[in-house]
Structure formats: structure tokens, C-alpha cells
Structure 1
Amino acid sequence: MRWIILAVATFTQAAAAFFTQGIGALGPQLQHDLGIGAAQLGLLVSAAQFAPLAGLPVAGELLDRFDERWVVGAGAAVVGVALLAGTLATGYPALLGVLLIVGAGYSTVQPGGSKSVASWFGASRRGTAMGIRQAGLPLGAALASATLPVIGAAHGWRAALTSGGLVALAGAAAFVLVYRRPPAPAEINRATGSRRGLLRDPALRGALLAGVCLISVQTGLGLLTVLHLHEVAGLSPGRAAAILVATQGAGVAGRIALAAVSDRARTSRPSVVTGSMLAVLAALALLVTPAGGSPAAAGAAFVWLGFFGIGWYGPWVALVTEAAPAGRTGFALGLAMAVNQVAIVLVPPLLGLLRDMTGGFTASWGLLAVMAGIALTALAPWRRLARSRG
């Protein structure tokens, strides 16, 4: 039964994230149809992530009090209904409003799906299960990147919203119909302490800061990949979107593979995340060299970035789950993901603004490299803890 639960949680994650993760692939068309620049496009990406700043901690409390089945199902349903209503949007400001509502609904899906998986899997397989579950986001992004530009080109951006709404509603229905709580809680090793004590734990604080920095890289990939390949490497929007699909597909593989590696020894989780950051830095360095203008080299760099710059999430969320106080897994996940939302909201418009102000992508990639470097430092407490356990 637990593998069925994992499958439906992954599907619901992919379905709820489908449209918002495809905005980057729709970027050239949205810029043309709505008459907006890169900064305004980045604001569209951020709009769907603004409400979770407040919504994720609330969702965490709800998940600790009520059945995930209804909390997650209701949130995914709000995403679907809002996107369908968005087909009535008359322009850019109305679309921003729609995406704010979408974000409110999505607030329950990410922590709720993670908590549901954590409750069904013990520590020895939790990293792998979390990696598969978290692969739902890049999976949804890859499918969206492959289909939404085609739908948008043929029928307009409103048809893309309709598709996203129907997919989200399918995810909500699947979770409500299939999900059940486990007959007995799976064994979970947690740190002791209260909710306030979470922020006094230096290792957990480091994990939170690392999450903020690395989610910035992941968000930047979704926004800038197509634009960089189109403007710098000279690829058509269609070919650039195809590489974005490959990048997101690599992220799916990375989330599963890196999480599986981290399960071999729980002390290896921080090492896996650290190695991912080093790989991200190498690829970002390539993009700001003349090789970043080569279609082959830039395409390979983006696929590499997809594997490591998206794949880090499974081991990271397992770290957060295992550090949660007893009975507060939902709150801990909601808190961690709310902290990440700060970067998800602020980084896309900032990256777009840097692109508009400088006329290139060097400053944007450089900022993400700095964030990856900060993440390396932030995980030092986890690496010391891993060495002491070893």
C-alpha cells in the first residue's frame, strides 16, 4: 500500500505544480502576448509563490491536526479552480491575481505530500521515498515545458491555463480517493524539543539556509533556461524549451538517484547535498564563459544543472523531516518550505531585473553561484554531525 500512496502523492505534486512550473517555458509567448519584460515575467513566477509565505506554516499546523487526505485534496482543488477561473483574465494584472490564489491552494500540497510519505516509510527508505515524491515537481515541470508551449502556440495562453486547471483537479481527486493514513506510524527518528526549539538547532538552521540558497538556483533554472538558450545560444524558442524539458527530466532522475544514494547511510545525506552544490557551481561557471553561447555546451550545462540543481531536494527534505520534534513533522516541513518561499518569491523578479538592466545573463548566473557558495557554508554543522556519527 505504501508504494501506491507514494505514487499518488507524487502524481498530485506533479499535477498541482504543472502550470506554475511551465511559466518559464511559456516565457517568450507571454512576453509577446502581454507586452512584458523579463522582470515582469519573473513576477508572474513569484506570484504563485507569494501566498505560501504565510500559508505554509498554517498548512503545517493543519496537517498536524487533520487528515492529510482532506488538507492536500482541498489545496489541489483550489489550484485547479483558480486556473480555470483565470481563463477570464483580461491581461497581466488579472493573471497576477489568479496566480496569487493558485499559490494559496498550493500551500498544502508540498508539505502535505511530504508528510504523507514520511508517515508510510521508515528511516532506511525515507530518502528514496522522499526523492521519488519530490521528483513530482520537476516531472510536472518537464511535462508542462513539453506541452504548454504547444498548447499556447495553437490556442493561446488561456488554453494553457485551462490545461493546468484540469490537471490540478485530477491530482486533487486522485489524492482524496486513494490516500489513507498508515495503520501504525512508521518509525521516525526525530530530535527532541518544541517548535521554538527548531530554530535553536544550529544544524537545522543550516539546513534552512541551504534550502533557501539552493531553491534560488532551482527557481532561476525555471525562469532563465529558455531565455538564455534563445538569446545567448541562438536557439529557437521551441528547441530551447526542449532543452528545458531535458533539464527538468534530469531533475527527476537526480531527485531519485541522489536520495537513493543518501539512504545507504543516513550520515551521507549532507555529503550528497554538498556534492550537488559543487556540481552546480561548476556548471554556472561554464555558463558565464564563451562556452555559454554554444548550443551544445550550454545545453549540456543545463541538463547537468537539472540533475544536481534540482536533485538535491530529496536528501535535504529527509534531513528536515528527521530533525523534527515528535508530532511536529508537518510544522517543521511547513516552516522549512515557508523559508524557501522567501527565495522563490524574491529571486525570479531579481534575476529578471538583472537581465533587463545589464542586457545579459552574467550577473544573474553570478548571483546564483554566490547563493550556492553560501549553501556550502550553511551545511557545515550537518557535515560535522555526520563525521561525529561516522
Structure 2
Amino acid sequence: MRRWMMLALGTAAQTVACTFLYGLPYTSETLRRDNGLTLGHVGLLIACPTVGLVLTLVAWGALADRFGERGVITSGLAMTTVLLALGGAVNGLVPLGVLLALAGAASASVSAASGRLVVGWFSARERGLAMGIRQTSTPLGMGIAALVVPTLAARSGMKGTVLFFAALCGVVAVLVGALASDPPRTAQSAAQEPAANPYRDSSLWRIHASSALLCVPQFAANAFAMVFLIDVRGWSAVHAGQLLVVSQVLGAASRVVAGRWSDRVGSRVRPMRQLSVCIAVVMGATALGALWPSPVTDLTMIVACGITASTNGLAFTATAELAGRAWSGRAMGVQNTGQNLAASLTPPLLGGLIGSAGYAWGFTLAAVLAGAACFIIPTLESRALSDSRQEVAIGPAELVQAARQKGRDEPSAADPVQGG
């Protein structure tokens, strides 16, 4: 049961960080109304936390590798709380932007360490499901922000909204500090850790590259779904937004299902490869729907928004397992950095293509990149998954006999397996 509490704490930490990071866009109208900002200025202010996040992910991962997950998450969220509280008290948009950037940098601790916490507490046969659940923190955070922030910003302004983010981060910081524990380390797990830099092999780089490519269809679908439904299908903004709530539910469910699938088949990369083909097909169908609109077009867009999120948890789990415990924090920091850069560049670059050539060409490009990712995803599995498959094949009785022959105990299925 303890590992499930660690999963709940890691998911809660990531959820409040996402509520802050993805909730700021919902203050756009308030910023324009109260401060007379242009959309360009609003976009610049909203981007400040993401800039801080991207610049510090790897550093926070290195700290998690060195000092453990609990301290990194707790201190990072505590710093985020203080910086956001100061942001709610300052006057002027420049000081606010600086504090938001620093708060984003502090919140990167959660992205770098919460996944490492989850991976460390679960065995290879449960880890895909656990990371899939942890990855639902993004749609959860976006959902909380969508429900609360617009009304709060209209009533209390930017300061009230920033203080709300601070309160959420503060509560979860206290919970993590009081209840979380770093994953136990056994003599066997320590012996399994890689002696050399795992980046000397190409597998980790290929996971990072393919995952970044798969971010393009994900953010192509999610960033342009509403305007696509309005422009191409004639939906109203209200009804399009209501329809897209379904896509967020599908996105969360697809991460969990994909994670469980990877546990069942004993592979992270094989489901990831097959899903990349499915994503390419669905995005291609969405492109065709842009050329020949019909009610089927609405369905393909919703499916696209859901399935394009399915590979996120698989990529993070594969990254942690290939890197091993000693390097997993830094590796997931690199993974997060690549995904955030792809996510940041996709809307403006693809938006330019859509503006000049139409939705069909933009979605076609996203489909091509998803198909390319299929060929980049490596075939190498981590030792943790190989050991897990061997345990399933030979059974518990043979394991006990083998352990006696070796003069040591084998870990149970519930023990954390930190393979290299």
C-alpha cells in the first residue's frame, strides 16, 4: 500500500505544478482588461514560467539523483509557494514576470523528481501502469485550471489567481514533506546500476528524439482543435470547448491504458512504436477531414486529441529504466526538456503553416512526424523488464530455488526494481 501512497503524492505534486503552469493562459482576458496589454505582451508573460522550467529541469534531476526525491520535491514546491506569494504581492508586470519565471524554475523540481519517485517504488511489472497514472496529472491540472481560474481571475484579478496557485503548491509541499519517502535501495538494485554514462548508448537519445517528434501531433491536435472545430465545422466556442472536455478524459485514459499494456507485454518501446503508427493514421484521417468536412471529422479530432497523449508515460518509463537509478533524474530532466521545447515550438510553427496552407497540410505534417518516430524508437529494453519477464516465465518456486543456490534472496514482485 505504501507505494500507492507515493504514487498519489507524486501525482498530486505534478498536478498542482501543471495547474500553475497551464492555468496562466486562463488569465489572458483579465490581463488585457486590467492592464491594457496586447496579446503579444500577454503571451510573453504567460511564457515566463515555461522558460524557467526548461532551463532548470536537468539541474533538478541531478539533485534528485544525488540527494533523493522527497527533499527535491518538497524544497522545490516550497520555493514555488514563496515565489508565487511574492508575485501576488508585487506591483508591476516586470517584477511579476521575473517571479513567475523563478517559480517555473522551482516547479521544475516536481517534473524531474516525481517520476523518479514513482519509478523507484514500483516493480517493472507495475511501473507502466503507475507512470500512466502519474501522467494523468497534466489533464488533471489543466482541468482544475479550466474550472477555477477563469472565474477567480475575473473576480480577484491576477494577484488572487497567483495566490491560489501558491496555496495549492504550499499544501502539497507540506504533504510530500510529511508523508513521502525515497524508494528503498537494496544490495541487488545497487549492483544493477550502470557503471558508465548511459548516454554513451544511442537508445536514450532515440527515446528523447522520438518522444519529441510525438509531441508535435499531440500539440497540433490540442492547440488547434477548438479553432478547427469553429472554422471548419462551424461549432460555437462554448460547444467546442464542451466537446473537447471529452478529449481530455480520453487523453488521461489513454496514458493509463498504454502503461498497463506495456506491463502486460513486458515492453515499453513496442507499444510506443505501435501507438506512433496509430497516431500517424489518426492524424492523417484528421487531415482528410479538413479537406472533406463531415460529422466524422469531429470524431477523428476528438480521437486525435486523446490518442496523441498515449505515449507520454511510456517514454518517461523507458527513459528511467534505460538510465538506471543513478542517472534517472537527469535523464528524465533531459526528456522533459525535449518535450517542453517541442511543445513550445509546435503551435507557432505549425500555426504559420496552417495559416498559409490550411489545416490539412498542418495535420499531414504531424502525421508524417509521428510515422518517422516509429523508426527512431529503439528496440533495446531495460534489464529491469528482462528480469521481470524471466520471473514470470520461471515462476516463484524456481525463483526461490535459484535464490537458495546463489545464497541470497531474490526481491519479491512488489520490491522496487531499478534496472539499468
TM-score (norm 1): 0.83
Alpha-carbon shift at residue 256 of structure 1 (Å): 0.9
Whole-angstrom distance in 1 between the partners of 2:96 and 2:222: 19
Residue 351 and residue 42 in structure 1: after superposition, are their counterparts in 2 closer, same or farther (change >3 A)?
farther
Deviations 1:64-84 (A, max 9, x none): 111322211222233344444
Q: Which moved more, 1:168-177 or 1:114-123?
A: 168-177
Q: What is the letter of the counterpart of residue 204 of structure 1?
A: L
Whole-angstrom distance in 2 between the partners of 1:156 and 1:285: 42
Residue 147 of structure 1 corresponds to 148
Residue 102 of structure 1 corresponds to 103
Residue 55 of structure 1 corresponds to 56
**Contact 1:122/1:187 (8 A) holds in 2:** no
The runs of 5 or more residues in structure 1 that have no matched partner are none
**Contact 2:270/2:379 (8 A) holds in 1:** no
Residue 374 and residue 47 in structure 1: after superposition, are their counterparts in 2 closer, same or farther (change >3 A)?
farther
SS of the residue corresponding to residue 264 of structure 1 reads helix
Is 1:212 the counterpart of 2:207? The answer is: no
When the two chains are superposed, the root-mean-square deviation of aligned CA atoms in Å is: 3.6
**Contact 1:226/1:237 (8 A) holds in 2:** yes
Alpha-carbon shift at residue 17 of structure 1 (Å): 0.7
Q: Which moved more, 1:343-352 or 1:60-69?
A: 343-352
Is 1:376 the counterpart of 2:374? The answer is: yes
Residue 132 of structure 2 corresponds to 131
**Contact 1:46/1:344 (8 A) holds in 2:** no
SS of the residue corresponding to residue 311 of structure 1 reads coil
**Contact 1:24/1:222 (8 A) holds in 2:** no
Deviations 1:166-193 (A, max 9, x none): 2232222221221012444595996734
Whole-angstrom distance in 2 between the partners of 1:253 and 1:308: 9
Q: What is the letter of the counterpart of residue 255 of structure 1?
A: R
The runs of 5 or more residues in structure 2 that have no matched partner are 391-420
Q: Percent identity?
A: 26
Q: What is the letter of the counterpart of residue 241 of structure 2?
A: A
SS of the residue corresponding to residue 308 of structure 2 reads helix
Whole-angstrom distance in 1 between the partners of 2:30 and 2:283: 26
Residue 161 and residue 295 in structure 1: after superposition, are their counterparts in 2 closer, same or farther (change >3 A)?
farther
Alpha-carbon shift at residue 141 of structure 1 (Å): 1.7
Residue 234 of structure 2 corresponds to 234
Deviations 1:49-91 (A, max 9, x none): 2233331111111001113222112222333444444446878
Is 1:338 the counterpart of 2:340? The answer is: no
Q: Which moved more, 1:109-118 or 1:69-78?
A: 69-78
Q: What is the letter of the counterpart of residue 252 of structure 1?
A: A
Whole-angstrom distance in 2 between the partners of 1:286 and 1:28: 34
Which aligned pairs between 1:277-296 and structure 2 lie closer than 5 A?
277-290=276-289
**Contact 1:69/1:180 (8 A) holds in 2:** yes
Which aligned pairs between 1:51-90 and structure 2 lie closer than 5 A?
51-87=52-88
Deviations 1:256-292 (A, max 9, x none): 111001001223x222112222232233233334458
Alpha-carbon shift at residue 229 of structure 1 (Å): 3.3
Residue 192 of structure 1 corresponds to 194
Whole-angstrom distance in 2 between the partners of 1:143 and 1:295: 32
Whole-angstrom distance in 2 between the partners of 1:227 and 1:5: 39
**Contact 1:123/1:188 (8 A) holds in 2:** no
Is 1:36 the counterpart of 2:39? The answer is: yes
Residue 160 and residue 310 in structure 1: after superposition, are their counterparts in 2 closer, same or farther (change >3 A)?
farther
**Contact 1:73/1:175 (8 A) holds in 2:** yes
Q: What is the letter of the counterpart of residue 226 of structure 1?
A: M
Residue 137 and residue 263 in structure 1: after superposition, are their counterparts in 2 closer, same or farther (change >3 A)?
same
Structure number with the bigger relative contact order (C-alpha 8 A, sep ≥ 6) is 1
**Contact 2:204/2:322 (8 A) holds in 1:** yes
Which aligned pairs between 1:236-315 and structure 2 lie closer than 5 A?
236-267=236-267, 269-290=268-289, 297-315=296-314
Residue 103 and residue 262 in structure 1: after superposition, are their counterparts in 2 closer, same or farther (change >3 A)?
same
Residue 358 of structure 1 corresponds to 356
Is 1:321 the counterpart of 2:320? The answer is: yes
**Contact 1:141/1:245 (8 A) holds in 2:** no
Residue 382 and residue 73 in structure 1: after superposition, are their counterparts in 2 closer, same or farther (change >3 A)?
same
Whole-angstrom distance in 2 between the partners of 1:359 and 1:91: 40
What count of residue pairs does the alignment treat as equivalent?
Answer: 382
**Contact 2:193/2:326 (8 A) holds in 1:** no
Alpha-carbon shift at residue 130 of structure 1 (Å): 1.1
Deviations 1:94-113 (A, max 9, x none): 66544422320122101210
Residue 378 and residue 28 in structure 1: after superposition, are their counterparts in 2 closer, same or farther (change >3 A)?
farther
Q: Which moved more, 1:17-26 or 1:70-79?
A: 17-26
Whole-angstrom distance in 2 between the partners of 1:64 and 1:254: 29
